[in-house]
Chains A and B, each alone.
Chain A
């Protein structure tokens, strides 16, 4: 692999990168660049960016150089998953390692694909997330130069997960890791994307995950975000779910100074279904920001969103969830629940679930709560001899257990549970809660 220095986010850079990725992305790259040059940085005056402060200008950052190695730290997610069907490491937007254990699927880096992958599905690259969503999506289209492409062919069932370890390491840079998943008709696959970076290093990560779930196919997809404290991440995720297909999504948000997830789920085919289960825990001055768009486009489709979060100290969380049910659909069910624990006076959680229903034959529900630990259970636990601190720990653990037990990848439950408990214990020890 040729070594490349860090480069400014300019059209010359985009052109230079074009040589490295499949030709098929050329159109979306040009469009992305065009938009990137036109669009302003978002402001918190825009509804979809409300409560988010961005302490940088994307245009001032340089594209991360070729990585000279990844993180040495143990990867608890990899450990929890055990044997995988395939494993890839992306460091600063470049794939540094990719291995496949299962035959039957295509699992390649985009750079490899550019050099001569001739399987189907490449035409989907870069079509999942619209480049005009915001300047970040535009920049991703313009400057993303590597990532992974997974294709699970029709009727192929792969039990073990594919794991993509997304790392960011280069201080002061931005990287654009890309993940494309194509699960063909009646195939079955499981994918975990982990995000991490060193704690004290300011950097920006702008990943995109696009998943195409064919008719009758099943996908389990989890993201586990545990970026370091000074990382700013803006992630776009789009999942298209075909006829009678099912996507089970898990979203775990623990790290980053800013951890933003912009998720668009198209429950597109007749009989398509999805459920999204997630949890986040914001500490100190973190902002964890979830913007979810659930689009029902097919009859007999169903969706269920269940997201729980906690914030402590001066952390902030945002959940805006728009469930939209298109015209002339029947027998659609859609549920959306967001529950938040506010553990310190200076912390805040903003929760705005919304429904836009254009058909009659639907069952919908949404619920949202924001509040401190409840007094009554605390009192009850203490009345049996638990100290207040310990009772609070047990309640926080219990609060998250409801989502942890429903994660699409049960193998991750232990490590997620430990991470959440550890965050709360640390907040207690530091006197922040």
Chain B
């Protein structure tokens, strides 16, 4: 019996003829919290979606959750095995209430009604989500409310591996702290958390066990929390120089220029 929650080995992903992930390796044990940092276009979000199973990519390699291969399975099966991604841009689902949605999931996964009810009630109280339960999923929610809703769903669904894709983006400083505290509060020996982040800002409120830096589709450096300090001081450019990595000419961009402005850039 291994204690490895998530084991990623040589994962490669491409869209058409453009390689985005060029061999990612990562081990995350249960109970640990890992952060993946990296500049725009380094492949962080792609890694999240490749794990979740988005159709857009041609994927090679292996990613196991608790020893079970994920990459050959449909999206819903991966979720049922215990994977959950908190989306960077949670999708609006018109006409479907949040509670209704969670009830459907519970029904499909044979979570007993009273069990779901208890989890819903506890998590709604903890994350102040009561007023949102009857509202349509993510519709007309602010950026911060959407992220809170993602964390709330995580608390209800209790995944084994949580992948948080820029859960801190688009939030003001108070909301970042709130989200960080929520994530910290959810730490448990039964769960592993992988957090993708752009900025070290959220790491002020959270202490990851490991930090990985992704550049040009690979994890180029891993270390303890001190790695965040190095990035804070010198940015990705200094790290690039220390590691002797050439800037990639055609690094694929994942974000539109306008999206820079949704993040508060004062941390770098």
Contacts and interface: CB of A to CB of B under 8 A. Distances in A.
Interface of A: 375-377, 379-388, 390-391, 394-395, 397-402, 405
Interface in B113-165: 136, 153, 157
Contacts of A397: 95-96
Counting chain B CB atoms within 10 Å of each CB, which of A377, A380, A382, A388 scores highest? A380
B93 A398 contact: yes
B186 interface: no
Contacts of B84: 383-384
Given A380-B87, A382-B53, A391-B76, 19 more contacts: A377-B93, A379-B52, A379-B55, A380-B90, A380-B91, A381-B96, A381-B101, A382-B75, A382-B76, A383-B52, A384-B84, A385-B79, A385-B105, A385-B108, A385-B157, A387-B76, A390-B108, A398-B95, A402-B95
Contacts of A382: 53, 74-76, 79
15 contacts: A376-B91, A377-B91, A379-B54, A379-B91, A382-B74, A383-B53, A384-B79, A384-B105, A384-B153, A386-B76, A387-B108, A388-B76, A394-B96, A395-B93, A398-B94
B253 interface: no
B80 interface: yes
Counting chain A CB atoms within 10 Å of each CB, which of B52, B76, B85, B87 scores highest? B76
A398 B79 contact: no
A402 B153 contact: no
A398 B92 CA distance: 11
Interface in B219-234: none
B109 interface: yes
Contacts of B53: 382-383
A385 B76 contact: yes
B95 A399 contact: yes
B95 A385 contact: no
Contacts of A395: 93, 96
A384 B94 contact: no
B85 A383 contact: yes
A81 to B, nearest CB: 24
Contacts of A377: 91-93
Contact of A394 (B54, B74, B80, B104): B104
Contacts of A390: 104, 108
A398 B54 CA distance: 22
Counting chain A CB atoms within 10 Å of each CB, which of B74, B84, B94, B108 scores highest? B94
A123 B104 CA distance: 55
B4 to A, nearest CB: 22
A156 B105 CA distance: 49
B108 A400 contact: no
A376 B87 CA distance: 11
A396 to B, nearest CB: 9
Contact of A386 (B90, B94, B104): B104
B101 A402 contact: no
Nearest to A380: B91
A426 B108 CA distance: 19
Contacts of B104: 386, 390, 394
Contacts of A376: 91
Contacts of A388: 74-76
